[in-house]
Amino acid sequence: MASSAYPAGTVRALLATDLVTEATRTALQARLDAPDYEPQFFDAATYELLRMVAARLFPQPDRDSPIELAPAIDQRLLTGGSDGWRYDVLPPDREAYRLGLGGIRESARVIFGAPFEELTGLQQDAVLQAVQNETAPGPLWDTLSANRFFEELLAELTENYYAHPLAQEEIGYVGMADVPGWSKITLNQKEDREPAVNE
Amino acid sequence: MPDEETLEEGILNPVKPEIQDPLLQSLLADAPMVERPIVPEPAPLEIPLPAETVDCIVIGTGAGGAPLLARLAMAGLKVVALEAGPWHDPKKDFATDEKAQEFLFWNDERLSAGHDPVAFGKNNSGTGVGGSTLHYTAYTPRPQPEDLHLHRDFGVGQDWPFGYEELEPYFEELEQFLGISGPTPYPWGPARRKGYPLAPLPLNGAAQLMQRGCEALGIRTSPAANAALSARYYQEGVGWREACTNRGFCQAGCSTGAKASMDVTFLPLAAAYGADIRPGCYVTEIERDDTGKITGVIYQQNGVEQRLRCRHLFLCAGAVETPRLLLLNELALSSGHVGRNFMAHPGVQVFGTFAEEVRPFKGIPGSLISQDTFRPKDADFAGGYLLQSIGIMPVTFAGQVARGRKLWGEPLRQYMQQYNHIAGINILGDCLPHADNFLELAEEKDARGLPKPRLHFTNHENEIRMNAHAEKLMRQIWEAAGATDIWAFPRSAHVIGTARMGLSGDDAVVDANGKAFDVPNLYICDNSVFPSALSVNPALTIMALALRTADKFLENQK
């Protein structure tokens, strides 16, 4: 399992300093302090399914409480936000999510004869892999491009994950602490404020 | 598309947003609406006729609109710029955070069709005072003279209606005005009268690695030309701008003012000469009189419709919104070329993992360049491309890994843990126009009730061969530099074409001066008028065209 490149607390400590601008601090601190979230767009069962799918695409057994990736999707769909484009083969995002999550549900039943929620982690992975490979069974996939839906879902979850300060700490990223600028920018150089990497 | 009746009135009826979302439709259908008394619709408020008519309206404040606006204002004309997005304060508003900076992109949904659908949003389009320059990489290479004559040299594509010598003085002017940092002499292309005003920005880790790989293969490299200051610079109409601090966040907005986006360069200059820049103004309609002459525009500002009258209109909204506005208003359509010739730069990226620490978020993302691939000897395609090292911000990169490598679960997290050891190279190459690459209005409506644009894009033989040639070469460069786990992310970058300029109204929308062939007082000035895609980043050429278009217009007004 991935272990954090930077020591725990690195980003939190940096956020408390004037190495970080107010705008940057506001954005990152809000993610660190995110309160418990109640779905407003998805119904409870579908939201839980989305959370379980997210847990397979971003397994986080190393964290006491995982970085929650579903709230931002629920919020975006609720407010109708867009990233500026969508594959023409996909229906509007709300419909794509409804069909896609329904498809995952259906495929789990066809392949394993049980709800996705009751499958083992490996079985859930097999369902998701089939969706990505466009081999997932179930009539819903006749109306939705499985691999394009999977790509969109994965990209959105991925961007939500790596936007989180703890995920940035995990990959050794401290670009947020840029108020003094960076002068040591060549190979193998680091500033004093960049911590040593956990090896 | 407006119907006959509304066209005759010259005004689009205010359209109620239609619910596109089938889920919402079904929810509304399932839940019986509470019976509401039928209230007669209030008569639409008459949009007041403004008392004055301005000389010029400029729609869009990016690389096309801003330099032009400044030029017209400096000539003493009364000019108004209408910008769909807000006016930001970079020092206060621009976080070093990719998600928080999403407001810089044109996030109204575009539908991407064809075999190789083009990504929009953060990939290539911007909003806000300054347009896409708010988040361009500030890479400002000049095109080569031969770039403008692809048809002459290869028998494919389209030549520009004028030669390089027409743009050259503007390149020089822009480089000096914006304070471009770059190598002198520049290793490729014709000798220059003046060098870059500032020394190149320092090379970062990715640039050093690319240099190492290219050296081993005998490929010449050079620090790139960037519109970001390597030293403090005094700029007319603006004052002192501070040097770049190597934040590496050019594509998410420069918070220090070192990057020459239009909001810290041409727009303050324009404002100093009396230009009226209005943020938050979304143009929906272009009005004409009986003779077909444009009389003004209607725009929405904070939800209120406004009308502004003008003598001349300059459409500078980019290669998607410009043709969209033309199609919505059935304007300049006689050539049949509005929306056609849509081109997107081949932009394949190749990443590798290195033993060295790269920390790819530091320094100007586009740090090192090679134009040795401008006309490769072993090419099996027309045209050429450039190579550039790329720095990467974590969220954007992670999204590309998910889409491009299709990794998820533990393998994705493991791969991303090497973030500090990853470096990339990418290309920007010429693209040929094809009949099946075009923009059209979709049936689906946006929140304003206007049809969404749908863009069809498919790489054809020439683009496929160019990308393959480039990918092979970049893999060799990374191998020579000592990379492991090399992989390619196929992508298309800048969007170009859709309202091209040419010598005749039979196959072009505007003439060599940017003037529409079939509307007496309409000018177009942005990447939509490019007859061919060029083998370089478009920003500098768009700005040069803007200055040239303004000068030609002013000459003709005398």
CB contact under 8 A, A173 and B419: yes
The mean per-residue pLDDT over the stretch B163-171 comes to 98
Residue A151 scores a pLDDT above 90: yes
Of A2, A28, A187, the CB nearest to B97: A28
The mean per-residue pLDDT over the stretch A21-48 comes to 98
Q: Which pLDDT value is given to residue B259?
A: 97
Q: Tell me the C-alpha distance between A63 and B510, whole Å.
A: 59
Q: Are B217 and B224 in contact (CB under 8 A)?
A: no
Q: Report how far apart the first and last C-alpha atoms of chain B are (Å, whole number).
A: 37
Q: Tell me the C-alpha distance between A84 and B11, whole Å.
A: 27
Q: Which pLDDT value is given to residue B32?
A: 46
Q: Tell me the C-alpha distance between A50 and A44, whole Å.
A: 10
Give the model confidence (pLDDT) of B351-400 as tens digits.
999 999 999 999 999 999 999 999 999 999 999 999 999 999 999 999 99
A155 CB within 8 Å of a chain B CB: yes
Q: What is the mean pLDDT of chain B?
A: 93
Q: Which pLDDT value is given to residue B163?
A: 98
CB contact under 8 A, A88 and B113: yes
pLDDT band at B21; cut points 50, 70, 90: low
Which of A172-181, B36-45, B183-192, B402-411 has the weakest average pLDDT?
A: B36-45
Q: Tell me the C-alpha distance between B230 and B233, whole Å.
A: 9
Residue B450 scores a pLDDT above 80: yes
* Tokens 């889409």, residue located: B403
Q: How far is A110 from chain B (nearest CA, A)?
A: 23
Q: Are B553 and B175 in contact (CB under 8 A)?
A: no
Residue B2 scores a pLDDT above 60: no
Write out the two tokens for A188: 């193998």
In percent, the amount of chain A with pLDDT more than 70 equals 98
CB contact under 8 A, B410 and A1: yes
A126 CB within 8 Å of a chain B CB: no
Q: How far is A70 from chain B (nearest CA, A)?
A: 15
Q: Which pLDDT value is given to residue A199?
A: 57
Which of A69-73, B30-34, B126-130, B465-469 has the weakest average pLDDT?
A: B30-34
B477: Cβ–Cβ under 8 A, 6 or more apart, which residues? Answer: B210, B213, B214, B217, B219, B350, B387, B425
Give the model confidence (pLDDT) of B35-54 as tens digits.
455 555 555 567 777 778 99
CB contact under 8 A, B357 and A91: no
Residue B5 scores a pLDDT above 50: no
Please report how the helices A93-112 and A70-79 are oriented relative to each other, as an axis angle in degrees rounded to 10.
140
Q: Tell me the C-alpha distance between A145 and A161, whole Å.
A: 24
Q: How far is B330 from chain A (nearest CA, A)?
A: 24
pLDDT, greater one: B23 or B373 = B373
Burial B248-283 (b: 16+ CB within 10 A, else e): bbbbbbbbbbbbbbbbbbbbbbbbebebbbbbbbbb
**Residue from B205, B228, B148 nearest B353 by CA:** B205
Give the model confidence (pLDDT) of B497-533 as tens digits.
999 999 999 999 999 999 999 999 999 999 999 999 9
Q: How far is A75 from chain B (nearest CA, A)?
A: 14
B474: Cβ–Cβ under 8 A, 6 or more apart, which residues? Answer: B348, B350, B387, B425, B426, B427, B488
Q: How far is B207 from chain A (nearest CA, A)?
A: 9
Residues of B in contact with A175 (CB under 8 A): 96, 247-249, 361-362, 393-394
Write out the two tokens for B457: 């894009």
Cα–chain center distance at B429? 15
Q: Tell me the C-alpha distance between B496 and B485, whole Å.
A: 33
DSSP codes joined into one string, B15-59: PPPP---HHHHHHHHHSPPPP---PPPPPPPPPPPPS-EEEEEEE
Write out the two tokens for B385: 């491309």
Classify residue B213 as left (phi > 0), alpha (psi -120 to 50) or beta: alpha
Size of interface A-B (CB pairs under 8 A): 201
* Tokens 């986080």, residue located: A60
pLDDT band at B457; cut points 50, 70, 90: very high
Residue B159 half-sphere exposure toward CB, CA atoms < 13 A:
14
Give me the phi and psi of B343, to 5 degrees please. -125, 150
Give the model confidence (pLDDT) of B67-107 as tens digits.
999 999 999 999 999 999 999 999 999 999 999 999 999 99
Write out the two tokens for A103: 């498809």
Residue A10 scores a pLDDT above 60: yes
Residue B188 scores a pLDDT above 80: yes
Residues of A in contact with B92 (CB under 8 A): 22-23
Q: Tell me the C-alpha distance between A73 and B106, whole Å.
A: 19
Residues of A in contact with B96 (CB under 8 A): 20-21, 24, 175-176, 178
The mean per-residue pLDDT over the stretch A158-185 comes to 97
DSSP 8-state code for residue A142: G
B218: Cβ–Cβ under 8 A, 6 or more apart, which residues? Answer: none
Residue B17 scores a pLDDT above 70: no
Q: Which pLDDT value is given to residue B1?
A: 40
Q: Tell me the C-alpha distance between B327 and B434, whole Å.
A: 19
Which of B8-17, B278-287, B305-314, B385-394 has the weakest average pLDDT?
A: B8-17
Q: What is the mean pLDDT of chain A?
A: 96
Q: Which residue ranges make up each domain of chain A? A: 38-170
Q: Are B496 and B439 in contact (CB under 8 A)?
A: no
Residue in chain A closest to B126 (alpha carbons) equals A84
The mean per-residue pLDDT over the stretch B216-236 comes to 96
The mean per-residue pLDDT over the stretch B189-218 comes to 98
